[in-house]
Amino acid sequence: MSSTQNDVQIDVEEFRRGARAWIAANLEPWRGPRGGRVIGDAKTHEEMASARVLQRKLFDGGYAGISYPAEYGGRGLTSLHERAFREEARGYVLPDFGAVGAVTFDAIGRSLLAHCPAEFLQRHIPKMLRGEELWCQFYSEPEAGSDLAGIRTRAVRDGDRWILSGSKIWSSGAYLADWAMCLARTDWRVPKHRGLTWFALPTDAKGVTIRQIRQINGNAEFCEEFLDEVEVTDEDVIGEVNHGWSVTQTMLVYERGAGQMGAKTREPRALAPDLVDVARRVGRVADPSARQAIAKAHINDYAQFHLGRRIGARLRASATPDPAVAA
């Protein structure tokens, strides 16, 4: 569905009525367990393929990227319209890309919009919204730990190319992603928070090796990556060369939930319903330890909801993401 400039004038309740009718006509009711699958559950390639088909249906109907700019395939509406759609779609099957989807449409997509030129955005954002490009982060490194600015993956200029070498770890769902947003050091002569640059690279590029990490609980969602002289070009630079820390700050803002303003639509009042269901099934509703765990989960949900509202309010008050909300 092509967007028009008239979209920005759509009243939220008018939009809601249209969304309600479209959802009822085009989406299947959710018949699985209450609460659905948890974002972050490992996915299969078959599940991802089905989700891509459903994402394209949303895009064609005008309900993918509702708050993304119209010139890049979105609707150019607001987070309130996004929230209205989520409220109406509750109880229906939506595309579920797991952690890869959350990263693609929130932290990465929003960061690209904030830092990339129009040519780059035209090349990638519509494909993201159609479900044709799913992205992951090549971010943390084995030796850097929590010191993100201490990374050692390097990018060396060679004419109009860049050659990337190094390793990354804890990349959620990288084995299912099509592209990666990769942080590398491009200048070793300056303080560590400077001299960093972000690059876009295909996960199937020559020299990229992705390995899943099998955890003790059997989950293998996290991955490690090895970059062996991977070639990219100046067209793949995200933001400005040697100024990658500003992009990092933007991404951290959205990782704290600013990009998910439409996801949590109501203040959590019931006590963590999914955990209560588990406690009932195993006969531990009266167990003090189980009750304490449920109470802690409810407090976390409540705090996250209100933190998200405050972050959203700060974002709406400024055209530029405020690094303060990434703290």
Q: At what angle do helices 288-316 and 273-281 cross, to 10 degrees?
A: 160
Longest C-alpha distance within the chain, in Å? 68
Determine the Cα–Cα distance for residues 110 and 250; give it in Å rounded to an integer. Answer: 8
Nearest in space to 114 (alpha carbons), one of 258, 275, 300: 258
**Tokens 């639509």 belong to residue:** 265
How far apart are alpha carbons 102 and 136 in whole angstroms? 10
Q: Please, which residues bridge with residue 225 across strands?
A: 168, 210
CB atoms closer than 10 angstroms to residue 70: 17
Task: List, in sequence order, the alpha helices (H) in the chain.
Answer: 12-26, 45-61, 79-89, 98-102, 109-115, 118-130, 244-255, 273-281, 288-316
Q: What span, in angstroms and rounded, lies between the C-alpha atoms of 251 and 259?
A: 10
255 is catalytic: yes
- Catalytic-role residue among 82, 141, 225, 255: 255
CA–CA dist 53, 75 (Å, integer): 20
For residues 134 and 97, the answer to whether their CB atoms sit within 8 Å is yes
Copy the structure tokens of residue 312. 């959203």
**Active-site residues: which are they?**
255
